[in-house]
Amino acid sequence: MIQITDELLSSFTKMHDKFISDWHEAMNTGDTSSLEVMTNEYYVAFFNDAKDKPMMFNRDESISGMNESVNQLLGGKKVFNDRVIRLKDKENAAVFYDLSIEFKAKTVARFFTIENWQLVDEKWLIVSEIQQRII
């Protein structure tokens, strides 16, 4: 079994803290370039309703959608609640959190989110995401 060290967890956590900080910056400026940290094979699945199949988006579609939504919600904020980080091994991690999107003093969306990260050429990249709409 591969030993996951406190140092590795700390390093990943600092990287993810920076990722959250980059989200805050993007929501204030509209510049999402620092958030484009996905593998070429990246995909996201959005589950809106239990009876509907998820909507699937690839990397390019996700970047386009991210740019559009950030510009529509410019000045809003994303709140990353109850984050849990689990390292699967030295090169793979999963991050879970309850994401609220606030705009003009109202919560306009809320998602339960799972991100899968992988260390590629000494850089952490998102491989896939699952978003379950709560509101």
Residue 27 lies in a domain: yes
Question: What is the pTM for the complete model shown?
Answer: 0.94
Residue 1 lies in a domain: no
Residue 76 lies in a domain: yes
Q: Give mean pLDDT, residues 62-91.
A: 97
Residue type, 22: D
| DSSP, res 66 | H
- Of the candidates 72, 88, 84, which has an alpha carbon nearest to the alpha carbon of residue 26? 72
pLDDT of 46: 97
Q: Give mean pLDDT, residues 50-69.
A: 96
Confidence of residue 58 (pLDDT cuts 50, 70, 90): very high
CA–CA dist 34, 52 (Å, integer): 32
Q: Give mean pLDDT, residues 68-81.
A: 98
CA–CA dist 5, 134 (Å, integer): 34
Q: Could you report the per-residue pLDDT of 86-135, keeping only the tens digit for each?
A: 999 999 999 999 999 999 999 999 999 999 999 999 999 999 999 999 99
Question: In which domain, by residue range, is 79 found?
Answer: 6-133
Residue 79 lies in a domain: yes
CATH at 32: 3.10.450.50
- E strand spans, the chain: 38-47, 55-58, 77-89, 92-103, 106-120, 123-133
Residue 29 lies in a domain: yes
Say how many domains are in the chain: 1
Residue 60 lies in a domain: yes
pLDDT of 2: 57
